[in-house]
């Protein structure tokens, strides 16, 4: 069975579940169903959340599993927090710059994206 995709591959907007079916008796229910807050997350973000749970909330453990810098893992967590509709905690400019530079060093973002982020 394939994992559920949560965003449209054409336009990127959220998808709506319109049919649920029992795998045993094949009873089907049709309507419009929400995937909930976690349905907003990409596959990569869900994988990150799974690692965060596995590591009992320890971001250092997640960073180690992903083989990325702590600041990169924290930045990914901040992206997940924003995707879920929450406001990430405010950070100082120096810390933000370090995160951008760490992401650039890990080749997660392009030089152009790093320049844009550092200017904002």
In the prediction, which pLDDT does 90 show? Answer: 60
Average pLDDT, the chain: 86
pLDDT above 80 (res 106): yes
In the prediction, which pLDDT does 1 show? Answer: 76
Distance CA 47, CA 54 (A): 10
Residue 85 burial by CB count (10 A; 0-12/13-18/19+): exposed, middle or buried? exposed
* Stated pTM of the model: 0.61
Q: What percent of the chain has pLDDT over 70?
A: 92
Give how far the C-alpha of residue 55 lies from the chain's centroid of Cα atoms, to the nearest Å. Answer: 17
Enumerate the domain spans of the chain. 40-119
Q: What is the pLDDT of residues 24-54, one digit of tens each?
A: 999 999 999 887 888 888 889 999 999 999 9
In the prediction, which pLDDT does 99 show? Answer: 81
**Which one is predicted more confidently, 67 or 36?**
67
In the prediction, which pLDDT does 89 show? Answer: 59
Cα distances from 105 to residues 17, 80, 92, 99, in angstroms, run 39, 21, 20, 10
């Amino acid at each position: 069975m394939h994992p559920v995709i949560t965003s449209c591959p054409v336009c990127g907007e959220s998808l709506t579940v319109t049919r649920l079916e029992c795998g045993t008796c094949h009873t089907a229910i049709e309507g419009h169903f929400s995937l909930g807050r976690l349905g907003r997350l990409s596959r990569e973000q869900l994988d990150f959340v799974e690692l965060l749970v596995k590591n009992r909330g320890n971001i250092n453990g997640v960073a180690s599993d992903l083989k990325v810098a702590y600041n990169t893992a924290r930045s990914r967590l901040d992206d997940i927090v924003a995707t879920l509709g929450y406001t990430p905690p405010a950070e100082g400019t120096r810390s933000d710059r370090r995160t951008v530079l760490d992401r650039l060093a890990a080749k997660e973002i392009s030089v152009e994206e790093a320049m844009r982020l550092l200017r904002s």
